[in-house]
Structure 1
Amino acid sequence: MLAEHYLTIKSAHVGLVMLSGSLFFLRGIAVLCGLRWAMHASVRYTSYLIDTGLLTAALMLLGILRLNPFTQPWLLVKLGLLVAYIVCGSYALKRAPTPVGKAVAFTAALACFVTIYLVARGAWGVRAW
């Protein structure tokens, strides 16, 4: 049964969060510094692989805990912030036409990431798992 692996899946989820956030941070700094490696295919595909694992672990946790993100306010907040993080991250790394736009989008994406973390940790009185 999947529930027997809860701690392993949760640990993988937390580890993948840290990997994903760290790689995004490094890529964002590199893009702002004009370094080409940040957008190299191997780096992008590594990011996709990490994020796919992260999403898979999150969905497994939702299934194990029988949580519906649309009935749990803290999960709904995290989901909305995740969408904002993805959009801001896309502008920070590629879509913003100017360096200032990339910097603003990068800052906004990092703010979303930190807020997602704080919500998950229950910083605003909302307890996550």
Structure 2
Amino acid sequence: MYLALKHTHVTAAVLSICFFIIRAWWSVSGSALLQKKFVRIAPHVIDTVLLACGLGMAGMLGAAAAAPWLYTKIVLLVAYIIVGTYAIKRGRTPQTRAIAAVIAVLIFMYIVGVALYRSPASWFI
């Protein structure tokens, strides 16, 4: 069961970042595609699956899940969400949205490193 959750989690993470990059590009370029119903709903579905699988795996790990790397992922996830809203919606200019998108992708990459190495140091170990 854990392996199925992990594979679903990783798949949702890949879909999430790919879709985020596409939406960020559309946001910066002012594309009307960003307003399509599917584009507004799909990220919530993907991210719900991503979070549910992550919580399921953390529950299966039990006390081991209370490791510093997991707390780091949670804090970085909140940062990613906040910066991501500036990349897609809240950024007032295309330049601001582009900078926020780059920062959000960097945060996401750091989260991936934390997950792979199970260390708050991420790629820097």
TM-score by length of 2: 0.89
User: 2:75 aligned to 71, 75, 80, which one?
Assistant: 80
Query: How far apart in 2 are the matches of 1:103 and 1:110?
Result: 11
The structure 1 segments of at least 4 consecutive aligned residues displaced by more than 3 Å after TM superposition are none
- Aligned residue pairs: how many? 120
Q: Which runs of 5+ in 1 are unaligned?
A: none
Other structure's SS at 2:73 match = helix
Query: How far apart in 1 are the matches of 2:20 and 2:34?
Result: 9
User: 1:17 aligned to 5, 13, 18, which one?
Assistant: 13
Query: How far apart in 2 are the matches of 1:65 and 1:77?
Result: 16
Q: Percent identity at matched positions?
A: 37
- Name the structure 1 match of 2:120: none
- Name the structure 2 match of 1:102: 97
Q: Which runs of 5+ in 2 are unaligned?
A: 118-122
Q: CA RMSD in A?
A: 1.4
Deviation at 1:99, TM superposition (A): 1.2
- Name the structure 1 match of 2:36: 40
